[in-house]
């Protein structure tokens, strides 16, 4: 069973999911600042030229840097990266939303596409 919150019944956490809440937001602050910088074309170019130097500007931990190096999208979400901010990393590294989704589900890109209603999406 769940609990009552503001007069509504709320269930417990959904298994195998990360709920982006204040705790995760605080944990992922450095990662999300890095992603926000990637809104600028100049910053995306700087990231592509030298990822290590770019990451160093944001004071990331060694573990956070490794998640970016590995393009571990589920790990980044678990570390507090906002899913919408993560799209900036995907854009800068050539990983579209469906490629990220496939990796996060542990599927190949082709397997993931087979579950989509629109074929040929990227």
Interval 65-84: pLDDT, tens: 999 999 999 999 999 999 88
Q: What is the pLDDT of residue 116?
A: 86
Stated pTM of the model: 0.78
- CA distances from residue 14 to 10, 19, 43, 61, 64 in whole angstroms, order as listed: 11, 9, 36, 28, 25
> Which residue range(s) make up the domain with 32?
20-94
Distance CA 122, CA 118 (A): 10
Q: Is residue 118 part of a domain?
A: no
How far does the chain reach from its first CA to its final CA, in angstroms? 40
Does residue 110 belong to any structural domain of this protein?
A: no
Query: Can you tell me the distance from the alpha carbon of 61 to that of 88, in angstroms, rounded to the nearest whole number?
Result: 19
Give the pLDDT of residue 13.
67
Averaged pLDDT score across all residues of the chain:
87
Q: What is the CATH number of the domain that holds 61?
A: 1.10.700.10
């Amino acid at each position: 069973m769940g609990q009552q919150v503001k007069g509504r019944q709320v269930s417990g956490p959904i298994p195998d999911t990360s709920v982006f809440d204040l705790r995760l937001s605080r944990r992922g602050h450095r990662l999300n600042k890095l992603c926000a910088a990637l809104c600028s074309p100049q910053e995306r170019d700087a990231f592509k030229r030298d990822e290590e130097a770019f990451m160093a500007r944001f004071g990331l931990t060694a573990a956070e840097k490794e998640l970016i190096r590995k393009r571990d999208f589920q790990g980044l979400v678990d570390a507090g990266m906002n899913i919408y901010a993560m799209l900036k990393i995907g854009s800068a590294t050539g990983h579209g939303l469906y490629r990220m989704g496939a990796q996060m589900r542990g599927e190949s890109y082709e397997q993931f596409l087979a579950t989509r209603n629109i074929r040929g999406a990227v």
